[in-house]
A and B are shown apart, each in its own frame.
Chain A
Amino acid sequence: MSIFTVGRLCLKLAGRDAGRKCIVVEELDSNYVLIDGNVRRRKTNVNHLEPLAEVLDIKKNLSHEAVKELFQSHNWPVWDHNSKQPAEKPKKHKKVKGQSGKSGKKDQSAKKEKSAAPKAKKEKSKKAEDSEETA
């Protein structure tokens, strides 16, 4: 009979959760168990667990919320994943035909300036011609 029965308190030896307390929630196989507690709820090889003396009286396949309450009642730290809420995507504003944006205004003003420049030149040249004639 395996020492890793349901409710057995263990210490995780391998991986990112090494050194943290966990509890066996379900026996999956002779080699694998489902653990929960101060670790991510996951299937684990029993070689990666160090059994502790305590065995808690729990039902098989206990939910994470129930395990969380159990650990909190014993003042043990519990792993809880606080998932970040994704930020709202910036809304894309479609350009409507006929409406000119900022860039459109700039273009128009630039065009006006360009069109005004040759007119001014023409006027200057005309004035010069007139002055020559009068002289």
Chain B
Amino acid sequence: MPEGKFRSRTFRRIHVRTPGGKSVLHYRRRKPSKPTCAGCGRVLAGVPQELPHDLKKIAKSSRRPERPYGGVLCTVCSRQLWKDKTRIEPTEVKA
């Protein structure tokens, strides 16, 4: 019987083949949900879907796009934001 914490599906299960030829079960943490745009909810491109301790290992420049609001807003929403700031009558950002 596995440990109590491994009896739920909190951890994902991975079958690993050992050097001795046995197939054993390993438990790993599930990855977090995909990062989404704060404006429209679209899945963000260029942002890795990793656990925080794995994200720490990646360079900051490769953790999110380099433009302002990179990793928060998608390209469409960020462009709309700049347009709204410059135009006299701002258009509504799609929610």
Residue pair B86, A11 in contact (C-beta under 8 Å): yes
Whether B86 pairs with A18 at a CB distance below 8 angstroms is no
- Residue B26 lies at the interface, judged by CB distance under 8 Å to chain A: no
Contact, CB under 8 Å: B79 / A14: yes
Q: How many residues of A contact B (CB 8 A)?
A: 10
B45 CB to closest chain A CB (Å) equals 13
**A13 CB within 8 Å of chain B:** yes
| Cβ–Cβ < 8 Å partners of B85 in chain A | 19
Q: Pick the contact of B75: A11, A14, A17, A19 (CB < 8 A).
A: A14
Contact call B67/A16, Cβ cutoff below 8 A: yes
Is the beta-carbon distance between A18 and B67 smaller than 8 angstroms? yes
When the two chains form their complex, are residues B66 and A19 in contact, meaning their CB atoms are under 8 A apart?
A: no
Interface set of A (CB-CB < 8 Å, partner B): 11, 13-19, 50, 52
Between-chain CB contacts (< 8 Å), 15 pairs: A11-B86, A13-B79, A13-B82, A14-B67, A14-B75, A14-B79, A15-B66, A15-B67, A16-B66, A16-B67, A18-B78, A18-B82, A50-B82, A50-B86, A52-B86
